[in-house]
Amino acid sequence: MSVAARRSTLGVAGLNFSGKALAVAKTMLVAALFGASGTLDAFWVAYTLPLLLPGVLTTVITVAFVPRFMSSLQGRSGPAAWRGANTLFTLVLLVAVVAAALLWWGADGLVHRLAPGLAPDVHAEAVHLTRLLMPAVPLLCLSSLLAALSYASERFMFPALEGVTTNVIVILAALLLLRSMGIQALVVGVLGGFILQSALLLWSNRRMIRENLRPAAALGHPDFLKPLAHLLPLFVGSAGSVLNSLVNQYFVSGLDAGAISALAFAGMIAGMPVEVFAQAVMTTYYPGLGRSFARRDHAAAAHAHADGLRFLVFMTLPAAILIALLAHPLVVLLLERGRFDAAASTQTAIVLALLAPSILMRSVAYLNYRVLHAAIRPWTQVAIGLVGVALNVVLNALWVNRFGLAGIAVSTTVSATIAALLSYAAARRVLEAPAPRTLRLEMVTLLRMAVALTVPSALALLAMRAVATDWPRPLLALLELGCAVPGLLCAAWVGWRAGQPDLRAAIGRLRPGWAGQ
């Protein structure tokens, strides 16, 4: 990895981590205020719907349209040069407004179809909250467009602030408005955070907006038509990836009250390493992959993929191991307070431990998908994504009644594993160049580090639980989390002795002169 790429990746990862640290604080607050309850289930169901279209459009616009358009500009500017892009942006915002209106009108039917097992009072609350959240659709679509322009210009920092701004506003709204508004305080916080992030992106792109962006309807413009062949499969593939969460919610809605909330809390914690590390790697590596494929330099693309894969595994494999080992103390320490009791902690921790392997698998799959899109093979991702969704549906149907939430978690992990394996095989095929010879050795080193992390941490955890059976739960949870320290030290020693490049680079940034020793 080049110095510039590593610096950009770590910078984005740092902002992502800050946003996720605030997300943890928000989650702790929400858990204490509402517990794992039917009221909070209603909010999670309502929160899902307005994010569907913007979530899909973010991927579509960022990956497919804007990078191609920006490369075709060749330094040109002005509304005439941007007419094709302006047409797309105008169309997206119009679709967002119409979609928000339709979602408001059809909220009752949508909630019933997506979460048919909700109790009548929870269903009614979910419909009400869904309608209140409808302004989020155009707000998020606007942010998606502006963030995509920033990414295309390789300006990553303002889009990466989203987690910071939105979570700060939600926390403030929950603290200040809870007594007067109840669960609706979270709605106010969500909308306020989206408004603030849109305002920041408008300000950071103000010059580009002033000089280039105008409403347009040039549906026959080449810059609008050429990317459509990529946009359609990417839209289908992104929608397919969203389906997994909807499928899980559909099956979980028939379980006890609070099950949706427990799954949401576990998913938030398990998703943090993916969103912090995998998103940073994908964001900073994708432009280089695109340029390599545009030059037909498959060797460079293969090297970038191998470099990104090693860096990604280096960051996410330890996170997956520690979350699997320490799920219960992590949940107790983060969430067990207020209305979130010990039973909710146990339920959430089991789901979290079973979801932990999906951290690595999802991260690997997302990087491989970027390779497929850089190679303009989007339908391959569509096929892989739909296989994962179909497998998730089948396994959920088989396991939800027998194993409950645990069955849903295992189903999610299995489908993520299959997607990772299939996407890696597909990525290797389109790269048309062998992986660097060092990649296998580097992966062996990472596996040795994983063993060195797991064994001491597990032994320390067992010893701690054997001698501290009657200690207060928060203190015991804190001490159990400390059991990761000997494992981390052993893993670092193994990696240092083996010359693991990412570890040495990280230490070198902290202590200049050490990396080359």
Q: Is the pLDDT of residue 243 over 80?
A: no
User: What's the pLDDT at 515?
Assistant: 47
Q: Is the pLDDT of residue 14 over 70?
A: no
Q: How confident is the model at residue 55 (pLDDT cuts 50, 70, 90)?
A: low
For the residues 331-358, what does the mean pLDDT come to?
90
Whether 59 and 234 have beta carbons less than 8 Å apart is answered as: yes
For the residues 85-91, what does the mean pLDDT come to?
84
Place of tokens 């347009």: 216
Q: Is the pLDDT of residue 36 over 90?
A: no
Neighbour tally for 146: CB within 10 Å: 24
Choice among 61-70, 318-327, 475-484 with the minimum mean pLDDT: 61-70
Q: Is the pLDDT of residue 81 over 80?
A: no
The model's pLDDT over 184-222, given as tens digits with 9 standing for 90+, comes to 999 999 899 889 988 988 888 888 888 888 888 888 777
User: What's the pLDDT at 324?
Assistant: 96
Whether 197 and 15 have beta carbons less than 8 Å apart is answered as: no
SS3 176: helix
The model's pLDDT over 477-498, given as tens digits with 9 standing for 90+, comes to 999 999 999 999 999 999 999 9
User: What's the pLDDT at 103?
Assistant: 85
User: What's the pLDDT at 63?
Assistant: 60
Q: Is the pLDDT of residue 6 over 60?
A: no
Q: Give which of 314, 305, 303, 312 is closest to 447, Cα–Cα.
A: 314
Q: Is the pLDDT of residue 463 over 70?
A: yes
User: What's the pLDDT at 44?
Assistant: 85
Please list, residue by residue across 19-51, b when 16 or more beta carbons sit within 10 angstroms of its beta carbon and e when fewer do. Answer: bbebbbebbbbbbebbbbbbbbbbbbbbbbbbb
**Mean of pLDDT over the chain:** 82
Q: Give which of 269, 260, 211, 258 is closest to 81, Cα–Cα.
A: 211
d(C-alpha 108, C-alpha 429), whole Å: 45
Q: How confident is the model at residue 407 (pLDDT cuts 50, 70, 90)?
A: very high
Q: Is the pLDDT of residue 67 over 60?
A: no
Q: Is the pLDDT of residue 514 over 60?
A: no
Q: Is the pLDDT of residue 8 over 80?
A: no
For the residues 427-442, what does the mean pLDDT come to?
84
User: What's the pLDDT at 388?
Assistant: 87
User: What's the pLDDT at 445?
Assistant: 93
The model's pLDDT over 274-318, given as tens digits with 9 standing for 90+, comes to 877 777 777 677 767 777 777 788 888 888 888 889 989 999 999
Q: How confident is the model at residue 329 (pLDDT cuts 50, 70, 90)?
A: very high
Q: Is the pLDDT of residue 72 over 50?
A: yes
With 0-12 CB in 10 A as exposed, 13-18 as middle and 19+ as buried, what is 62?
buried
For the residues 335-355, what does the mean pLDDT come to?
90
Q: How confident is the model at residue 161 (pLDDT cuts 50, 70, 90)?
A: confident
Say what percent of the chain tops pLDDT 70.
84
Q: How confident is the model at residue 159 (pLDDT cuts 50, 70, 90)?
A: confident
User: What's the pLDDT at 205?
Assistant: 82
For the residues 155-160, what does the mean pLDDT come to?
69
Q: What DSSP string describes 252-294?
A: HTTSSTTHHHHHHHHHHHHHHHIIIIIHHHHHHHHHHHHHHHH
- Type of residue numbered 487: G
For the residues 392-421, what does the mean pLDDT come to?
93
User: What's the pLDDT at 453?
Assistant: 96
User: What's the pLDDT at 236?
Assistant: 60
Q: Give which of 407, 232, 256 is closest to 343, Cα–Cα.
A: 256
User: What's the pLDDT at 337?
Assistant: 83
With 0-12 CB in 10 A as exposed, 13-18 as middle and 19+ as buried, what is 91?
middle
The model's pLDDT over 387-403, given as tens digits with 9 standing for 90+, comes to 888 999 999 999 998 99
Please list, residue by residue across 204-236, b when 16 or more beta carbons sit within 10 angstroms of its beta carbon and e when fewer do. Answer: bbeeeeeebbeebebeebebbeebeebbebbbb
Q: Is the pLDDT of residue 501 over 90?
A: no
3-state helix, strand, coil split of the chain in percent (to 5) is: 85, 0, 15
The model's pLDDT over 360-375, given as tens digits with 9 standing for 90+, comes to 999 999 889 888 877 8
